[in-house]
Each structure stands twice: as structure tokens, then as C-alpha cells.
């Protein structure tokens, strides 16, 4: 696949607080085998901010099998998953393996 991957390393352990993630939409964006609704690629395309709880293992992508579990909102209570290479971080706190 042409083009460079932009990768943000995941914190090694969970801690109090939350990190706000912004999807990085590029040619390498992909949904996981666990894709829920709404579509993860659509979320990235619109630049929606999301608060991940942890990452899960499964479904190899970009040489790694870490996928963030995304809690999409209190009203919808829907979840989706996105590969860790497709996000940028801001804020404080930490996340880690489920």
C-alpha cells in the first residue's frame, strides 16, 4: 500500500481519566472485524471526537492487532472499534488493554 502510516502509540496501562481521541482519516483508515454502528469510517470522515475506554486484541492490521473500543455516546450506547494507528490523542489520563 502506498503512502506512509501515521501511528500514535497506545499507553501501556489504564489509569483514571480519559484521553480524547480524534480519528485521523487517511487512505489507510479501515474498520475492524468488530465494526458496529454508526460506521467507524464515517466517524473518522466527519472528524467526530470520541472517548475510548480500552483497546482489544483481534483482527490484524498494519502489523498490529490493537483496536480501540469506542463508546460513542450516552444516548446511543453504541460501540465501534478502530485500529490504534488511525487516531490522534489529546487530554490527560490513560487507557490500556481490556
Residue 86 belongs to a domain: yes
- d(CA 91, CA 98) in angstroms, rounded, equals 20
Residues spanned by the domain of 42: 20-90
Number of domains in the chain: 1
Residue 12 belongs to a domain: no
Torsions phi, psi of 83, nearest 5?
Answer: -65, 145
pLDDT, the chain, mean: 52
Q: What is the pTM of this model?
A: 0.42
Residue 97 belongs to a domain: no
Residue 96 belongs to a domain: no
pLDDT of amino acid 33: 44
Query: Which band of pLDDT confidence, cut at 50, 70 and 90, is reported for residue 53?
Result: low
* Mean pLDDT score, 63-84: 62
Residue 3 belongs to a domain: no
Contact by Cβ (8 Å): 83, 30: yes
Residue 95 belongs to a domain: no
State pLDDT tens for residues 10-26: 333 333 344 556 665 45
Sheet order of strands, 49-61 included? 79-83, 64-71, 49-61, 20-23, 87-90
Q: Say if residue 85's pLDDT is above 60.
A: yes
Residue 25 belongs to a domain: yes
Amino acid at each position: 500500500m502506498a503512502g506512509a502510516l501515521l501511528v500514535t502509540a497506545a499507553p501501556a496501562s489504564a489509569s483514571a481519566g480519559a484521553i480524547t481521541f480524534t480519528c485521523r482519516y487517511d487512505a489507510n483508515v479501515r474498520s475492524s472485524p468488530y465494526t458496529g454502528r454508526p460506521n467507524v469510517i464515517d466517524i473518522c470522515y466527519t472528524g467526530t471526537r470520541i472517548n475510548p475506554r480500552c483497546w482489544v486484541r483481534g483482527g490484524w492490521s498494519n502489523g498490529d492487532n490493537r483496536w480501540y473500543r469506542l463508546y460513542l455516546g450516552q444516548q446511543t450506547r453504541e460501540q465501534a472499534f478502530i485500529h490504534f494507528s488511525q487516531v490522534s490523542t489529546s487530554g490527560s489520563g490513560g487507557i490500556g488493554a481490556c
